[in-house]
Amino acid sequence: MRGYVTFPIIIVLTAIGYLYYTTLFVLIDGWLGLSTAAGFANAAVFTALAVVVVVTYGIAVFKDPGRVPYSFSPDIEHSESPIHEIKRKGGDLRFCQKCSHYKPPRAHHCRTCKRCVLRMDHHCVWINNCVGHENYKAFLIFVFYGVIACIHSMVLLVGSASYALHNDQEHNAGSFNISYIICGILLLPLTIALIVLLGWHIYLILQNKTTIEYHEGVKAMWLAEKVGNVYRHPYDLGIYENLKWVLGPSIFCWFCPVTKNLGSGLRFRTAYDVPLSTFPT
């Protein structure tokens, strides 16, 4: 259930704690020294990154991703809803038999959470929660700052390990810390995985898609091309509008851990609302 601390969450928090301790008290202290200006500056920056990572991770874990109100009913005459998502078979409005209510646009039923989630992207086992309308930015910011923290730690690892090896060669000592090896084994695949995940979600944001909509769009594009039509994602408003819809109305708050979401998650602007002159190419 959402909000429960599960084993994958314990793994994530343990990895964060271990990397933080190793980066500060092994890498920085062993190479630059925490009492030096360079060491203190790197420790302060890495600590700030770690705090943002933990805070955004907590928001992604505990924040409700978006619940469909029981009173929701699609208004086919609503001026702000030019399109309505329908079932592939039959063409009826999307209705969740398990939740016994209509599905708003971009909402999907999560079999793990056992309910419908607004603008559902996917269910993530590492946060024991769905990534949806209300916590998508927190999840994205967590990954973004996680990448920066990992790269920072990786640079410190390389520098500190090189310094330690150089000292060992000069003094014929064998003091190379096993923590370097453990940190490298943990840090390298984690950095690569987070970079790939961040790149994937940047790609989705630029097109205003969710992971579910991407896979649905692949099939829709294939069907459209089969009959000679061109498929266009209906929620693609152009790069800037797409970024603003996910990250917030103010560009100065795009990288802030917390910001107000645009809209309620029940209705979304579509490409049909955008003038042709501003249509994405």
Does the structure show a pLDDT above 90 at 230? no
pLDDT tens-digit map of 17-68? 999 999 999 999 989 999 999 999 999 999 999 999 999 999 999 999 999 9
For residue 43, the model assigns a pLDDT of: 97
Q: Active-site residue among 96, 99, 110, 124? A: 124
Question: What pLDDT, in 10s, does the model give residues 155-165?
Answer: 999 999 888 88
| Amino acid letter, residue 228 | G
Which H or E run contains 101?
Answer: strand 101-102
Distance CA 70, CA 125 (A): 27
Residues forming beta bridges with residue 122, ordered by sequence position: 131
150 catalytic? Reply is: no
Q: Which residues contact 10 (CB under 8 A, 6 or more apart)?
A: none
- Look at residues 117, 118, 122 and name the one whose alpha carbon lies nearest to residue 197: 122
pTM for the complete prediction?
0.88
pLDDT digits (tens, 9 = 90+) for 101-129: 889 989 999 999 999 999 999 999 999 99
Q: Between helices 239-247 and 136-171, what is the axis angle to 10°? A: 90
pLDDT in tens, 182-224: 999 999 999 999 999 999 999 999 999 999 999 888 776 766 6
CA–CA gap between residue 219 and residue 223 (Å, rounded): 6
Between the alpha carbon of residue 158 and those of residues 105, 162, 194, the distances in Å are: 48, 6, 19
